[in-house]
Chain A
Amino acid sequence: EAQVTQNPRYLITVTGKKLTVTCSQNMNHEYMSWYRQDPGLGLRQIYYSMNVEVTDKGDVPEGYKVSRKEKRNFPLILESPSPNQTSLYFCASRRGSEQYFGPGTRLTVT
């Protein structure tokens, strides 16, 4: 089954404790991206990647890092999480005009 997977689905952590949210797709898509969803703000793009070793900032990149060492994986790294990064995060991959979303990761930073 073609899909985008994310782990973990739920995470509660404390300020400053580094964490990584993994994202993997099995569709051989070149383009992948991360979004955060906040009430009243819709989805905002954090980072995107056009291919292996090619990444660029989206609209809200501050406080996040990404890497793309393999085509299928695109992890999101929070080096020092802060409470304002409490949000619902979605990974997505794309071929052509259609984007496929993962199930989401709900992150709470206390």
Chain B
Amino acid sequence: AQSVTQLGSHVSVSEGALVLLRCNYSSSVPPYLFWYVQYPNQGLQLLLKYTSAATLVKGINGFEAEFKKSETSFHLTKPSAHMSDAAEYFCAVTTMNSGYSTLTFGKGTMLLVSP
């Protein structure tokens, strides 16, 4: 089974600083990878996805992620944090199960942005 590891349950940055949220996956076959964001008291919103095309993926709200096969990583970055980026972020990977792909999530990273 595939798995996802998000390093750091909480990440704190100052407004305007670089945001880096780490995600590593385990997979024996090329995966599909996703980042979701969850704002307080809301559902999950897709930020971006990697589906075997360009390794640098751009998403909404200025976020991007780079797929690095050699490092089995899919870290999420944003050059300059905004207060409105404070939320919980989930990395996810597809998992093949009995011929159907299922989505496996990491445990999440809470991004805290201070003024």
Q: Which residues of A contact B (CB under 8 A)?
A: 31, 33, 35, 40-45, 48, 50, 56, 58, 90, 92, 94, 97-99, 101-104
A56 adjacent to B98 (CB under 8 Å): yes
Most chain A CB inside 10 Å of its own CB: which residue of B34, B44, B90: B44
Q: For B106, what are the chain A residues with a Cβ–Cβ distance below 8 Å?
A: 42
A1 to chain B, nearest CB (A): 14
**Binary interface profile of B, 96-108, with partner A (CB < 8 Å = 1, else 0)?**
0110111111111
Say yes or no: A40-B98 contact (C-beta < 8 A), given A90-B44, A97-B51, A101-B43.
no
Query: Is B9 engaged at the interface, CB distance under 8 Å to the other chain?
Result: yes
Count of chain B residues near A, Cβ 8 A: 23
Say yes or no: A102-B43 contact (C-beta < 8 A), given A31-B100, A42-B105.
yes
Q: For A40, what are the chain B residues with a Cβ–Cβ distance below 8 Å?
A: 9, 107-108
Chain A interface main SS type: strand
A98 adjacent to B49 (CB under 8 Å): yes
Q: For A31, what are the chain B residues with a Cβ–Cβ distance below 8 Å?
A: 100
Q: For A94, what are the chain B residues with a Cβ–Cβ distance below 8 Å?
A: 103
B105 adjacent to A43 (CB under 8 Å): yes
Pairs across A and B, CB under 8 Å, 9 listed: A40-B107, A42-B106, A43-B90, A50-B100, A90-B43, A90-B44, A97-B49, A99-B34, A104-B42
Residues facing A in B60-115 (CB within 8 A) are 90, 94, 97-98, 100-108
Bound-state Cα–Cα, A35 to B12, Å: 28
